[in-house]
Amino acid sequence: MNKIRYHQAQSLLKEACKSAKNAEKLKTPQEGKIDSVIYGEILKEIIKTEEFIYSSRPTHALDQEDAEEFCNHLIDVRNKIDLILVEFGVLEKEDMEKEVKRLSREFVFLTSKSNFKKLLTRWGVEPQRIVVAGVPLEAEDMRILNPKIPESALEPIKKKISHVKNDIERKMGELNTEKIVVVVENDKSGEILVKRARDIYGSYAIKKDSLKDIEILEFKENLKSLS
């Protein structure tokens, strides 16, 4: 994930250069309300980047690991600044949602909970591209999640798994794509779903400790890195 975000930073820097040359992309600020929470998070991230200024003296050169961490903080700052600019009309959120919609047309999305599906659609993914698993992709994985599960409880789970797999394959056929993206949180069930989906479908993964912490800009950059 660190390498993906490092490439995101490179992409964002290129886009920033384009924006500087094309001022018409930025609109005149309108009335709005400062999100003090987001602003506070920006300051915290900037303070974290400042540590690299002192630790890298006198050359300010960073090795690969430090460069990735430094750029990760910059990505977070950039994303949060853009959210504030959206609030004041300088950037258009609608444009970002359109871009997510365009990028997502390459994929079928697999996630583990219905509320994750709501997040994906809010970011711009078309609902017909999303499959909510709710169960692992193999019945034996239920024993990892719940070692005490009785054998009798596995039969209905096997049926659900069959329905999920049929739904995935149907959508892949209807939407003419073989690319699957698993979007989950960094917990045991998420890790299991990612591993099995990779084994079965050769899928990609977008993981986060808390999906609600992902903003549309970060999700868009994740998709761009997978395209």
Q: Residues 133-185: pLDDT tens digits?
A: 989 999 999 999 988 888 888 889 999 999 999 999 999 999 999 999 999 99
Tell me what percent of the residues of the chain surpass a pLDDT of 70: 88
What pLDDT, on a 0 to 100 scale, did the predictor assign at position 205?
A: 95
pLDDT at 225: 86
How many helices and strands, by DSSP H and E, does the chain display?
9, 4
Q: In this structure, are residues 207 and 190 in contact, taking their beta carbons and an 8 Å threshold? A: yes
Average pLDDT, the chain: 86
In this predicted structure, the answer to whether residue 17 has a pLDDT above a threshold of 70 is no
pLDDT of residue 68: 87
What pLDDT score does 151 carry? 85
Instruction: Report pLDDT for 96.
Output: 79
Query: Is 56's pLDDT higher than 70?
Result: yes
Q: What is the pLDDT of residue 227?
A: 76
**Which DSSP helix (H) or strand (E) runs through 20?**
helix 2-21
In contact, 134 and 110? CB cutoff 8 Å: no
pLDDT at 177 (0 to 100)? 95
Question: Is the pLDDT reported for residue 2 higher than 70?
Answer: no
pLDDT at 116 over 90: yes
Stretch (H or E) spanning 198 = helix 188-201
